[in-house]
Structure 1
Amino acid sequence: MEAKIFACFFISLFGLCCAQGSSNFREIEYEGGDESYFCAKRNRRIFSAPDFGDREENLSFEGCGIWSSRDPGNKFKQPWQIVVRVRSKSYICRGILISAQAVITPHECRDVVDHYIRTRNSNEMQIYGGDSCADTESEDGKCFARLRLLENIKVIGLKTLRKMSPHTDYFLWTTNKIKFANNLLPICLYNRDNSDDFYSSQNYYGTYFGDDAEWAEVYKPEDCCHTEEYLRFWGENINSLICTKSPCQFFLINRETQQGQTRHYLRALRSFYSTKPSGTKVCSSMDINFWLEEIISLVPDLILMPKIPSTKPKIEFRSGLSFPNCGKILTQINAAIKRPRRSTELRPTGFVFGGLDAEIGTSPWHASLTFHGKAGVTIDACGGTLISNRAIVTAAHCFFESTGGRVVQYTSNQVEVTLGKYDAEKRTEDSRQSFYPNRILVHSGYDHVTQTFEDDIALLIFDSSKVELTEMVQPACLWDQDYSISSISHKTGEVAGYGKTAEDIRATVLQKVELNIASHRNCFLQQRQFFGKFLKPTMNFCAGKPNEAATCIGDSGGGLTIYRDGRHYLRGVVSSGILKQAIINEKVETVCNPKYYSLFTDVTNYMDWIVRNVPDIQGK
């Protein structure tokens, strides 16, 4: 009785209770047994299906999980088998390949892990994979356990995955890129939610290495029962277990056939096994989804489609429009004189690759920002969008500079705003208005040190109505319809700006380009590595015309406006994009890469912040 009370106290530390009124477990007695068993109820923890972005099969890695053998017991034929071996010792570690750069190994690998942690010597670590060796171990060290030494593959990292219980460790090894072959491929990570697991011996098998693979029968959640001893270690995590009848192997694999193609998925990692009073051995494995986000964050070539959260509530403006008479082009254009000069070839023009010379007065909300630094250094580096008499929306990253290992922020008396500008060389243009803002409001969520470009938005505020509205100076409207990306992903937006030409010469005339707004999925699939990290749905979105037109270096902060019902509405702020290196004038320069979409801060996510801080824009 005392032991049971102690166990209950221990379990309560994990938020459980082993009293009869427990909401998570039901107590059962096995006939002839002297221990109480607790079984999870049907409300098993549900993991949502991971989204790897792949439209057809939602695979974690292209080409993963294909194994020609129909019999899991076929010796040494699983193409994801890997051995990590210490060259100078007898230590070996068997694991499973999940990408071109990652291997998971179980807690039985402690000797190998400790050796690597102690020495951090990658040259001591050998990686074996494939099944092309006939000998168990060759004298020249090229083969081990019928696996071939993977030449030039080095361990570059090791992490212990989040513990499931105090006595269970799994390790994630990262390597340089492994070249695949027919007998060397990664297994797929499970790609569906866990609400409809198939409780059939035809779909699951347990494996650790080679001929240890055996079919496994999966218990239903309500039949997954454990003693109080195991509950002490697991806490609420016990609702994430998958229980199978013996055999108990380290890796639980799910085999699925769809559209004639059979693939194998890593479904769970074994933690422990127990024996019921009836003598039946129960193997308990933790759902791979328990670690999925952690694994993805550690493996460079595994990427999840960014989650799309709900949009914020739409702001209604008091006067209907965000500012009276906003978004109108007032200039009368003489088409015979002001017709745009088309480029004869696609060329990078700063933020506007493949753009045209804008017609005079067709972007009257565009602001040019000039930064006056120390020692008289002047930089025309960013743009912005006028949204009222007293405010300009731009990008937060424009106001920071990294010098001497530290980040310096520009002050309002260092930032000159010019409106009504068209020809950069004609400084005496009558249409120009130049002044300094009274305040620079950088969004509190922006962090220039991390360079993630989250919350990349800022406001320039004037204490009085310095701006005179003319044909050449007009505010754009703030977006006032559906905030979701689906409402604009089929539309085009206009971006204006100044930038450098292909010859690294700055354009003198305002450039304008029309860009296609992409869905979040299309954006992610275009370049998973970059957009998997920097695309933050609702915070930003993608737009461009790959290999034809894009935004790039030179005019961050400029606005993307959408034309609707005779007005131009601000929806995006130029934020970031993918760069490349090119040789210009015999020098290696970092330039824009028009092959890919660019990222724009989504103004609608910050509409409440804008309305709260701009004096002459009011919501209802």
Structure 2
Amino acid sequence: MKFHIQIAQVISFAICTFSLILTEHSRNDELKKKNINVTDCLNYLTPKPHFEAPVFSNDTENLSFENCGSWKNEGDNAKAPWRIQLVDTNDTLNNCDGILISDKTIITYWTSTSVFHSFMRGNALRIHGGPCEMSNDTESCFRFYNINRRSDLGLLSGQKVLDVNLINLIGLPFLYVWTITPLKLSDGLTPICLWNEDNSRDEQLQYFAQDEFGSTTSLAIDNKSNYVGAEQCYMEHNMMRIEICEAIRFSICLNVKSDPKLLAPTYLLVQKGSRVYLRGLNTYYSRERQSWIDLLVKMESLIAYSTNLTMTRA
């Protein structure tokens, strides 16, 4: 009888322990769903981590891709040459904007979720980039109409999307890395450079932003960089999802001047010398402040999934 009582006690203890574990997981899930004040984030006012400068090549320019980031930004070349559009062949309304980072790699932001699912179902995607062959050629030109502005991208005929990988951004949806067949590059079709410095002098940089139509604007007030603590970009939220707290430490926050001609600026860019570099992806947008996830945080993952891009030891 005593033996049976002991067995029953063990079973009862195991059930109680299991119930406590489930309760704890349930509490954690509830906490994740709750909104908290930014000042309650564990990372609030915590100094941003230092990120080492990526080394892509051993030459003097240390570029992610040869001749990347070149942009005349005038006349017919005014549209950013790294701008790409992926379009579902079965539904042209299902499309997403992206950026070319090598002759075989395109990255797109979380807005490309529906295109991703379409591709995973087996639908082919058309790739549009560079100038249209003819201004009125609807067969080779893909157009967008928005706020009295037209954006035309040429069809890259014969090009195929081969594969896609997902990178989990901190506190945010995914970054999509697409592998395509090799492109023939030109002045109107050029990859952007990936950032090749550490983050120790971020407050000294001159930033500008680019929206999905390739329009760009300087983000600095009085033509000066106005870099502020990342938590400042989230103060206006008052209450925020707890998982966004982690993103604060890895964000770039700027006080900015508003530009009514620019739509929500997806990409944060830096110009250094004659080259343009991709630095971050938009997380928060208002009239006064904007925040971007610093791509230095995910640079190793981005390079690992990219084709014709490598990182080497310093």
TM-score interval, normalised by the smaller of the two chains:
0.7 to 0.9
Distance 1:131 1:284 in 2: 31
Match of 2:127 in 1: 127
Distance 2:180 2:233 in 1: 39
Answer yes or no: is the 8 Å Cα contact 1:60–1:189 preserved in 2: yes
Q: Give the letter for the 1:111 counterpart.
A: S
Match of 2:83 in 1: 81
TM-fit CA distance, 1:306: 3.7
Answer yes or no: is the 8 Å Cα contact 1:86–1:126 preserved in 2: yes
Q: 2:281 aligns with which of 252, 258, 269?
A: 269
Q: Give the letter for the 1:173 counterpart.
A: W
Alpha carbons of 1:86 and 1:69: their partners in 2 closer, same or farther (altered >3 Å)?
Answer: same
Q: Secondary structure at the match of 1:46?
A: coil
Distance 1:181 1:154 in 2: 18
Q: Which has the higher relative contact order, 1 or 2, with Cα contacts under 8 A spaced 6 or more apart?
A: 2
Distance 1:290 1:173 in 2: 19
Answer yes or no: is the 8 Å Cα contact 2:128–2:155 preserved in 1: yes
Match of 1:65 in 2: 69
TM-fit CA distance, 1:133: 3.9
Distance 2:120 2:174 in 1: 15
Q: 1:189 aligns with which of 184, 187, 194?
A: 194
Q: Give the letter for the 2:181 counterpart.
A: N
Alpha carbons of 1:17 and 1:243: their partners in 2 closer, same or farther (altered >3 Å)?
Answer: closer
Matched ranges for 1:211-290 at <5 A: 212-217=215-220, 218-221=226-229, 224-226=232-234, 227=237, 229-230=239-240, 232-244=242-254, 245=256, 246=258, 248-257=264-273, 262-273=274-285, 275=286, 280-290=287-297
Tell me whether 1:208 sits opposite 2:211 in the alignment: yes
Match of 1:154 in 2: 160
Distance 1:54 1:225 in 2: 37
TM-fit CA distance, 1:237: 2.9
Q: Secondary structure at the match of 1:110?
A: helix
TM-score by length of 1: 0.39
Tell me whether 1:104 sits opposite 2:121 in the alignment: no
Q: Give the letter for the 2:137 counterpart.
A: S
Tell me whether 1:138 sits opposite 2:150 in the alignment: no
Matched ranges for 1:342-491 at <5 A: none
Distance 2:52 2:289 in 1: 26
Match of 1:51 in 2: 55
Distance 1:151 1:222 in 2: 43
Distance 2:115 2:182 in 1: 21
TM-fit CA distance, 1:108: 1.8
Q: Give the letter for the 1:256 counterpart.
A: K
Distance 1:17 1:88 in 2: 43
Q: Secondary structure at the match of 2:279?
A: strand
Distance 1:270 1:24 in 2: 20
TM-fit CA distance, 1:208: 2.3
TM-fit CA distance, 1:150: 1.2
Distance 2:77 2:142 in 1: 15
Alpha carbons of 1:89 and 1:235: their partners in 2 closer, same or farther (altered >3 Å)?
Answer: same
Distance 2:153 2:176 in 1: 21
Tell me whether 1:117 sits opposite 2:120 in the alignment: yes
Distance 2:56 2:179 in 1: 20
Q: Give the letter for the 1:113 counterpart.
A: F
Identity %: 27
Unaligned stretches of 5+ residues in structure 2: 1-26, 144-151, 221-225
TM-fit CA distance, 1:222: 6.0
Alpha carbons of 1:165 and 1:223: their partners in 2 closer, same or farther (altered >3 Å)?
Answer: closer
Match of 2:174 in 1: 169
Alpha carbons of 1:223 and 1:112: their partners in 2 closer, same or farther (altered >3 Å)?
Answer: closer
Distance 2:295 2:207 in 1: 14
Q: Secondary structure at the match of 1:205?
A: strand
Answer yes or no: is the 8 Å Cα contact 1:133–1:147 preserved in 2: no
TM-score by length of 2: 0.74
Answer yes or no: is the 8 Å Cα contact 1:65–1:264 preserved in 2: yes
Answer yes or no: is the 8 Å Cα contact 1:132–1:148 preserved in 2: yes
TM-fit CA distance, 1:185: 0.6
Answer yes or no: is the 8 Å Cα contact 2:126–2:155 preserved in 1: yes
- 1:335-389 Cα offsets, whole Å, 9 max, x none, are xxxxxxxxxxxxxxxxxxxxxxxxxxxxxxxxxxxxxxxxxxxxxxxxxxxxxxx
Distance 2:38 2:31 in 1: 9
Q: Give the letter for the 2:276 counterpart.
A: H
Q: Give the letter for the 2:160 counterpart.
A: K
TM-fit CA distance, 1:197: 1.4
Distance 1:234 1:46 in 2: 20
- 1:259-282 Cα offsets, whole Å, 9 max, x none, are xxx100001011233x5xxxx442
TM-fit CA distance, 1:233: 2.5
Answer yes or no: is the 8 Å Cα contact 2:132–2:155 preserved in 1: no
Alpha carbons of 1:127 and 1:154: their partners in 2 closer, same or farther (altered >3 Å)?
Answer: same
Answer yes or no: is the 8 Å Cα contact 2:38–2:239 preserved in 1: no
Alpha carbons of 1:222 and 1:302: their partners in 2 closer, same or farther (altered >3 Å)?
Answer: closer
